[in-house]
């Protein structure tokens, strides 16, 4: 049996950085990864997909050149092999960077293999047994495949496999109208594929307010994406055209099908029962406000604990654990103000509560909205789709939440994220003097239009 000061299972966006901090403190750490360092973000999520989004936007801008007085003769062609290779290069650079970093770190042992608990302090991997007083789980999540009629009779894609396509689908049908599915839908439409989106719920991006969901649908429809919402029945079968997707309202002859109906934690094969670690009904590991499980000496970080499912929340889990365990601090998950983005174009930047949540809270609130068509920078760039919305507490004057669907919305939202984390009231932020011409310069104006509801 090999002994360590700590064992980290999973090489995502929390565990490896925590392992590095512990090594800096002179600890002996084992980092176990069953496949690739970097987790979903580096290998199948943020980095490759946003690289693909960038290629798709380049194609879109090229096709729109005439609007700006830039005439490009001939048809804009897409070389999917180059597109794929570019995304793969970005992934490999990041993954190899992590490999090189850990290789030069005394005290760090990286083991590739599938780890399972033998008891609360012991895990087995590749026929070896390892023990440590502290074990950290950062095992991530994977796509959920729903039990739909005929699904096992077709060759479907997931968010993991679609990034490896090096040919252009004739007609991509996306099952699921949430964040992952919508990004791929617009991306492949811009590459030149016909695209359909099928969503069980009444709206796309169901987590958002109705006005945001409607605006997202308008953006996608304007680019020729066929959207079906409120679909209760879906079945698949092979056809001469590829795949027939039959719903209660449509029949689609697809060449490719992407299943984007959510994700589930990679916790079902870790031997958690042997350690006594409790999970909820969805398989997420139950943790307290400091990310500790019900078993002393075991923590769960990142997607597998159900508190975020984003790269930045996973990394913040590392920061919380490191601050509490290594720096004598007392950080809590409940102190985190959730923010995220939807990377369609224009992007959606979101922070805090939605209007629906704010109204349901019973507090007195104020709301302000402004269309992007009234933003100078958006007009200058010729990108005026979307709008801004901010919600504030009428009594405390604190900002409760905001949504910016529009050009650079994923960057502009950070002004509000910073203000909320600093506890700044909206009247104070209203007196800032932003740079002109930017999208951010409209934030004080947006705040100045707050009205009670």
Element at 387 (helix H, strand E): strand 387-393
Instruction: Give the tokens for residue 314.
Output: 């996973």
* Residue 397, φ and ψ in degrees, nearest 5: 65, 15
Letter string b/e over residues 63-94, b meaning 16 or more CB atoms within 10 A of that residue's CB: eeeeeeeeeeeeeeebebeebbebbeebbbeb
What is the CB neighbour count within 10 angstroms for residue 239? 12
What is the sign, positive or negative, of the torsion defined by CA atoms of 304, 309, 311, 314?
A: negative
Angle at 311 between CA 309 and CA 317, to 5 degrees: 80
Element at 256 (helix H, strand E): strand 256-259
Catalytic one among 114, 164, 307, 436? 436
**Which residue, chain included where needed, has tokens 């905001």?**
402
The answer to whether the beta carbons of residues 338 and 207 sit under 8 Å apart is: no
Half-sphere exposure of 135 (CA within 13 A, CB side): 27
Told to judge if 436 belongs to the known catalytic residues of this protein, a careful annotator would answer yes
| DSSP per position, 163-201 | GG--S--SEEEEE--SHHHHHHHHHHHHHT-EEEEE-SS
Q: Which residues are catalytic?
A: 436
């Amino acid at each position: 049996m090999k002994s360590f000061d700590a064992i980290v299972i999973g090489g995502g966006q929390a565990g490896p950085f925590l392992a590095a901090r512990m090594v800096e403190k002179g600890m002996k750490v084992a980092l176990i990864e069953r496949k690739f360092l970097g987790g979903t973000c580096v290998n199948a999520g943020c980095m490759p997909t946003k690289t693909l989004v960038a290629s798709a936007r380049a194609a879109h801008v090229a096709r729109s050149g005439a609007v700006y007085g830039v005439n490009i003769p001939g048809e804009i062609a897409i070389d999917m092999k180059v597109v794929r290779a570019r995304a793969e290069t970005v992934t490999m650079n990041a993954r190899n960077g992590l490999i090189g970093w850990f290789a030069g770190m005394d005290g760090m042992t990286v083991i590739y293999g599938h780890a399972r608990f033998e008891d609360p302090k012991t895990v087995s991997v590749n026929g070896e047994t390892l023990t440590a007083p502290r074990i950290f789980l950062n095992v991530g999540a994977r796509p959920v495949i729903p039990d739909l009629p005929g699904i096992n009779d077709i060759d479907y894609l997931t968010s993991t496999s679609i990034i490896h396509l090096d040919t252009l689908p004739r007609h991509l049908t996306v099952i699921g109208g949430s964040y992952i599915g919508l990004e791929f839908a617009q991306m492949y439409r811009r590459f030149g594929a016909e695209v359909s989106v099928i969503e069980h719920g009444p709206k796309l991006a169901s987590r958002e307010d109705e006005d945001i969901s409607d605006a997202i649908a308008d953006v996608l429809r304007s680019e020729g994406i066929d959207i079906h919402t409120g679909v209760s029945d879906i079945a698949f079968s092979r056809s001469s055209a590829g795949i027939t997707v039959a719903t209660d309202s449509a029949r689609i002859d697809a060449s490719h099908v992407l299943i984007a109906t959510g994700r589930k934690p990679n916790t079902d094969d870790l031997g958690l029962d042997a350690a006594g670690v409790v999970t909820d009904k969805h398989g997420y590991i139950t943790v307290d406000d400091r990310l500790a499980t019900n078993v002393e000496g075991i923590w769960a970080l990142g997607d597998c604990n159900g508190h975020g499912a984003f790269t930045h929340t996973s990394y913040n889990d590392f920061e919380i654990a490191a601050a509490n365990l290594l720096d004598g601090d007392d950080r809590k998950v409940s102190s985190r103000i959730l923010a995220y983005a939807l990377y369609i174009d224009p992007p959606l930047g979101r922070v805090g509560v939605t209007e629906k949540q704010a109204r349901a809270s019973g507090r007195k609130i104020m709301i302000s909205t402004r269309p992007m068509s009234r933003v100078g920078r958006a007009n200058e760039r010729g990108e005026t789709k979307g709008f801004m919305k901010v919600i504030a507490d009428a009594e405390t004057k604190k900002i409760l939440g905001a949504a910016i669907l529009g050009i650079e919305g994923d960057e502009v939202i950070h002004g509000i994220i910073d203000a909320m984390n600093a506890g700044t009231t909206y009247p104070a932020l209203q007196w800032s003097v932003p740079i002109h011409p930017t999208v951010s310069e409209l934030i004080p104006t947006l705040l100045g239009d707050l009205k009670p509801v």
